[in-house]
Amino acid sequence: MTDITFVAEVAKVQTLADGGIRLTLDLGESDTMQMAQLAMCQQFGVLLSVICKTEGKQNYATLPEGRKRKSEWATEEKAGAHTGA
C-alpha cells in the first residue's frame, strides 16, 4: 500500500478504560480517497506507522470556515436543546 497523506484537525483525544488511547481526526471534505484507504486498513487490520507534522503556523482560529466543527451548544439556540422544554 502507498502512503496515505492528508491534513487533519485533532478533534478528540481520550484514554480508554484499558489504558489505551483513542484519537479522533477531522479530515477535509475533499479527502474521501484517504478516508476510503483508512477504511480498508481498518477492515483488513493493517497497522499504520504515523508521523505527525504541524501544518505551518495555522491554528484552529485560522482554519477555513468549512473545517471548523461546532457542537450543538455553539450553534444558534434551538428550543428545548438544553432548557428541557
Q: Is residue 1 domain-resident?
A: yes
Domain range for 31: 1-52
pLDDT value of residue 15: 97
Q: Is residue 82 domain-resident?
A: no
* Tens digit of pLDDT at every position of the chain (85 positions): 689 999 999 999 999 999 999 999 999 999 999 999 999 999 999 999 999 998 876 665 655 565 555 555 555 555 555 555 5
Q: Is residue 60 domain-resident?
A: no
pLDDT value of residue 56: 73
pLDDT value of residue 58: 61
Q: How far is it, in rounded angstroms, from Cα 33 to Cα 2?
A: 12
pLDDT value of residue 83: 55
Number of domains in the chain: 1
Q: Is residue 3 domain-resident?
A: yes
Q: How far is it, in rounded angstroms, from Cα 10 to Cα 12?
A: 6
Q: How far is it, in rounded angstroms, from Cα 28 to Cα 33?
A: 11
Q: Is residue 67 domain-resident?
A: no
Residue 39 in contact with residue 76, Cβ under 8 Å? no
Q: How far is it, in rounded angstroms, from Cα 38 to Cα 2?
A: 11
